[in-house]
A and B are shown apart, each in its own frame.
Chain A
Amino acid sequence: MAEAIYPRILHARLRGQLSYRASFLLDCLAQAVAQGGEVVVILVLFNRVTALGGFSVDEVLLVYALASTAFGLSDLFAGQLNALPAYIREGTFDVLLLRPLGTLPQVMVSDLPLKRIGRVFTGLVVLGYALPHNDVVWTPWSVGLLVVTPVAGSVIFSGIWVVACSVCFWLVDGQELANTVTYGSNTFTSYPISVYSGWLRRLMAFVVPGAFVAYYPALALLDKPDPLGGPGWLGWVGPVVAVLVAGLAGLVWKTAVRHYRGTGS
């Protein structure tokens, strides 16, 4: 019964949108193309070079596809957190506090702009191209990894989103800073982390655990040694990282809401 509430809210949200079919399709397309912008960059670069950070074009596309699918999935739900500043400003967040449900899931399902499916679509299309063009050895394990990776990745992205957007409870214009982290992670994870160096890589790959979204799982699928010397098992721990990130995100959100209600600072 309790589980049925959120699907029902989502279902009701969906019905509203499908009434504007034409603009819905255009929106969908725009999202797909927006997410696909990076593909153009990758193809243009490989028009001039043969490898990027030790990866071929098809390998980079695989990393990109896994990251994009994961980001698209997280955008479906966590993307709604971008509305948080408006909810706080307009008092909608107070209304969510009046209901006998958690605030985070309520925000996440408060709207479901289906157009964001467009981003997932781009990821899946590129995945459909990249998989047959790489030497992936198909075993039950690799199939499992391929299915789990976008899901774990989307949980990681969602966690990043929650943590970043929690800033909005403290800062009035925290949204743009949050976008830097969320959309920055989207761009970061689209390339092998061997492309980056120094503190930028340490920060975005491990502090913000972007490396576990697509890079390590892609290495495992390709059965390719990490040019940076990381052990092979890193490709399989995505779900564990996802669980840790989700737990941390939950804690941060709780602290943020506590601050909003006034027991914080």
Chain B
Amino acid sequence: MIEVRDLRREFRISEKAGFLRRAHRTVAAVDGVSFDVAAGEAVGYVGPNGAGKSTTIKMLTGILVPTSGTVRVSGVDPSRQRKELARRIGVVFGQRSQLWWDLPLADSFELLKAIYRVSGPDFAKRLAECADLLELGPFLTTPVRQLSLGQRMRGEVTAALLHAPDLLVLDEPTIGLDLESKERLREFLAELNTRRGTTLLLTTHDLDDIQRLCPRLVVIDHGTVLADGPLADLSAEVSPERVLVVDLDVAVEPLADLPGVVSVRTELGGRRQHLAFRRDVTTAAALIAAVAARAEVHDLSVVEPEIDDVVRTLYARRHADRSVGNVGVPHDSR
């Protein structure tokens, strides 16, 4: 669905260098990015502000032309076949609207129907579906400028789906939304991906979006791909330790000598122990059995590393090892 190879985009920045004189320098916002997205995948494209996310999205959607490298999206070259691409993909920008500000939502949809040449029955079917799942009914006839942000975003997503695109690109779709709207939107997108098989690519700062929607993550920083892979693998690679928390009936000495255990933190005088263990050495099940052999286990839980910790660690490691090269292993999906 998406094929990106050695993508690079430079910007010329001009700065004042004295009266009337300007100095120019070239900055690469995207610097050699490669990744693929297969049909039906849902991929999160994450990274800190200024990492090159939006620039990549603009090149994928045909707004910007790459300085070098190749992009193919839905079988076309976005920079050369902009209009053809527009018919095949849907795009939602969290911070700019593609609806008509002073028209009722329904009228905006009618216009998009004409613009994308959607047939009457298809249009009616898709709109009914979205209206049902996103509960657009109560505000279909309200002018867009009077909608709440959450209502508007539901409208934006519907607008991007009216021509039944195979790929939906979302740039910060949940930014500024309240919790309920976020959840409703995530649910809808998850359904779209699993039921419809619509491919999703989304940038976000909200790690809940990723946890909920994206089995796979592409992490970008300073214009290059830091890591690419399933969320679980990334967590494993960055922080190979998981933590087993056991509540014991009676206090015992810290269980630091069990196989695979790296460190122990005790609470309640040793009745609760946090056992950090390496998952490449042992499994949770084996460790639980080993604990149970020593003391009566009252309750237990396994704590996965938090996703923000994963991403933060990735950034930190990358900066520490900058001279060494990539730490995160770019994942080759071919």
> Do A and B interact directly, with beta carbons closer than 8 Å?
yes
**Which residues of A line the B interface, CB within 8 A?**
1-2, 4-5, 8-9, 12-13, 15-16, 90-92, 94-95, 97-101, 258, 261-263, 265
Whether A95 pairs with B96 at a CB distance below 8 angstroms is yes
Contact call B103/A262, Cβ cutoff below 8 A: no
Which residues in B have their C-beta under 8 angstroms from that of A258? 65
From A1, A95, A263, B79 is in contact (CB under 8 Å) with A263
Query: Majority SS of interface residues in chain A?
Result: helix
| A98 CB contacts on chain B under 8 angstroms | 61-63, 86, 91, 98
Q: Are B111 and A100 in contact (CB under 8 A)?
A: no
Contacts of A101 in B (CB 8 A): 83, 115
Is the beta-carbon distance between B111 and A8 smaller than 8 angstroms?
yes
Task: Output the least CB separation between A154 and chain B (Å).
Answer: 25
Instruction: Verify B103–A100 contact, CB threshold 8 A.
Output: no
Q: A86 to B240, alpha carbons, bound, how many Å?
A: 50
How far does the alpha carbon of A4 sit from the alpha carbon of B91 in the complex, in Å? 24
Minimum distance in angstroms from A90 CB to a CB of chain B: 7
Choice from B66, B86, B96, B107 contacting A12 with Cβ under 8 Å = B107
Chain B residues whose C-beta falls within 8 Å of the C-beta of A99 in the assembled complex: 86, 98, 115-116
Is A95 a contact of B102 with CB atoms below 8 Å?
no
Which A residues touch B222, using CB under 8 A? Answer: none
Of B65, B95, B97, the residue contacting A261 (CB under 8 A) is B65
Give A95 Cβ to nearest chain B Cβ, in Å: 5
Closest to B67 in A: A262
* Complex contacts, A15 vs chain B, CB 8 Å: 103, 107
List chain B residues, Cβ under 8 A from A91. Answer: 93, 95-96
Interface residues of B (CB under 8 A from A): 9, 12, 58, 61-67, 79, 82-84, 86-87, 91, 93, 95-98, 100, 102-103, 107, 110-111, 114-117
Residue pair B95, A100 in contact (C-beta under 8 Å): no
Cross-interface CB contact of A5 among B62, B93, B97, B114, cutoff 8 Å = B114
User: Which 10 A-B residue pairings sit nearest by Cβ, starting from the closest?
Assistant: A100-B86, A100-B83, A91-B96, A262-B65, A16-B102, A263-B65, A261-B65, A95-B98, A97-B63, A8-B114
Residues of chain A contacted by B83 (CB below 8 angstroms) = 100-101
Contacts of B95 in A (CB 8 A): 91
| Bound form: Cα–Cα A262–B58 in Å | 11
Given contacts A12-B103, A95-B97, A98-B98, contact A261 B115 (CB under 8 A): no
A40 to nearest B CB, angstroms?
Answer: 35
**What residues on B are CB-neighbors of A8 within 8 Å?**
110-111, 114
Question: Which one of A5, A9, A97 contacts B82 once the chains associate, using CB atoms below 8 Å?
Answer: A97
Cβ contacts A to B, 25 pairs, < 8 Å: A8-B111, A12-B103, A12-B107, A12-B110, A12-B111, A13-B100, A15-B103, A16-B102, A90-B96, A91-B93, A91-B95, A95-B93, A95-B96, A95-B97, A95-B98, A97-B82, A98-B61, A98-B62, A98-B63, A99-B98, A100-B83, A101-B115, A261-B64, A262-B65, A265-B12
What residues of B have a CB within 8 angstroms of the CB of A90 in the complex? Answer: 96
- Contact with A4, one of B107, B114, B116 (Cβ below 8 angstroms): B114
Let me know if B58 and A94 touch, CB within 8 A: yes
**In the complex, chain A residues whose CB is within 8 Å of the CB of B87:** 100
Residue of B at shortest CB range from A102?
B83
With the chains together, A262 CA to B78 CA distance in Å? Answer: 13
A95 to B115: give the CA distance in the assembly, Å. 13
Q: How far is the CB of B54 from chain A (nearest CB, A)?
A: 10
A144 to B238 CA separation, bound complex (whole angstroms): 78
Q: A5: which B residues are within 8 A, CB to CB?
A: 114-115
Bound-state CA distance A8–B115 (Å) is 9
Q: How far is the CA of A99 from the CA of B117 in the complex (A)?
A: 11
- Give every chain A residue within 8 A of B61 (Cβ-Cβ): 97-98
